[in-house]
Amino acid sequence: MRSELGSLLMMVAAGLAPSLAADKPVMVDARIKLVSAVNALGGVGIQLEKSTHVLMVPSDMLTEEIAYHGPARLQLIQMESVRTPTQDDPKAETKERPTKRAFAGSTASAKKPAYVPAAKPPLGWIDLPANQGTLHLILLVNPGKDNGITAITDAPGSFPPGSNRYFNLCPFPLKVKLPSGDQPVPAGAAKVARPGASNTEFYDLVITSKIGEEELTAFSGRIFHQERIRKLYFIYPAAAQSGRVRMKVIEDRPEYEKPPAGLPTGPKEQ
């Protein structure tokens, strides 16, 4: 009887093992930066393997790099703040006792609010490829459009600081004219190029469009160049087959560098 029971339990365990393995999500490692295609998005989170990373997604620059280790389906979820219990003494004599206020900028005065996932559908999601090592991606967030997230490959060295990346989202070809030379960008394609200007100097940027056999000036302006910053130019059609364009320019600045520890102090008073 015991041997039959043991065999039965082993058969049940063997049958459950594949289903349990199937339920376990595939984990992916990625280095990601995000930017919003619309307005800045505050109070959003990315679900990692064991926690949620809360952040704000700006619309004019990339976020700092996030080390993502989580499910292959990356989800950007909405968060909501929760009130945290205080440790104030309810006694009257304690309430009347004066308390020392924290000065602005101190650790005591800068309490971070607590967030929890809101009971709402995700703002966007994307299925990341597994078994490809660490991915390097820029995620363009556009809630309400398709799945809400578009991934742009950002392999190390492919888009270095001091260069610009031009995305032609128009149904017609463009030509980006820089001091370093002309860069043709076909419809639906992208091109990375250095402007050919010195650091902290202005240069002329001209973008032309081609409608049929006619080449039209779509944009012309003076651009300030910084070698430590890279820029993404999303170029959209302003009107169908007019050749005119509108642009969204996004900057990627280097990560914030903390000031050296220990501020200098003046001479002691005698």
Residue with tokens 């393995």, as numbered in its chain: 21
Band of the pLDDT at 104, cuts 50, 70, 90? very low
Looking at residue 1, what is its pLDDT?
A: 45
Count the neighbouring beta carbons within 10 Å of the beta carbon of residue 233. Answer: 21
Looking at residue 21, its pLDDT comes to: 46
Collect all residues with Cβ–Cβ distance below 8 Å to 111 and sequence separation of at least 6.
none
Predicted confidence band of residue 213 (pLDDT cuts 50, 70, 90): confident
Can you tell me the distance from the alpha carbon of 170 to that of 193, in angstroms, rounded to the nearest whole number? Answer: 19
Give which of 249, 31, 40 is closest to 153, Cα–Cα. Answer: 31
86 to each of 78, 90, 104, 243, how far by Cα in Å?
A: 25, 11, 20, 60
Could you give the CA distance from residue 140 to residue 233 in angstroms, rounded to a whole number?
Answer: 13
Res. 123: pLDDT tops 80: yes
Six-digit token pair at 19? Answer: 């289903």
Greater confidence (14 vs 247) lies with: 247
Distance CA 41, CA 56 (A): 6
Residue 92 banded pLDDT, cuts 50, 70, 90: very low
Least confident of 42-46, 121-125, 131-135, 261-265: 261-265
CB 69 within 8 A of CB 48: yes
pLDDT tens-digit map of 133-166: 999 999 999 998 899 999 999 999 999 999 999 9
> Strand pairing partners for 44?
55, 78
Does residue 102 register a pLDDT over 50? no
Which ranges of 24-102 does DSSP label H, i.e. alpha helix? 92-96
The whole-model pTM stands at 0.73
> Which residue type, as a one-letter code, is found at position 21?
A
Could you tell me which of 213, 251, 217, 247 has the C-alpha nearest to residue 232?
251
Question: Under the phi-then-psi rule, with left for phi > 0, alpha for psi from -120 to 50, and beta for the rest, what region is 195?
Answer: alpha
Q: What whole-number distance in Å separates Cα of residue 226 and Cα of residue 268? A: 42
Identify the structural domains of the chain with CATH numbers, from first to last: 27-81+114-139 (no CATH), 160-252 (2.60.40)
Which residues have C-beta within 8 Å of that of residue 221, sequence separation ≥ 6? Answer: 204, 205
Place of tokens 């169908």: 240
Strand order in the sheet with 66-71: 66-71, 27-36, 135-141, 149-153
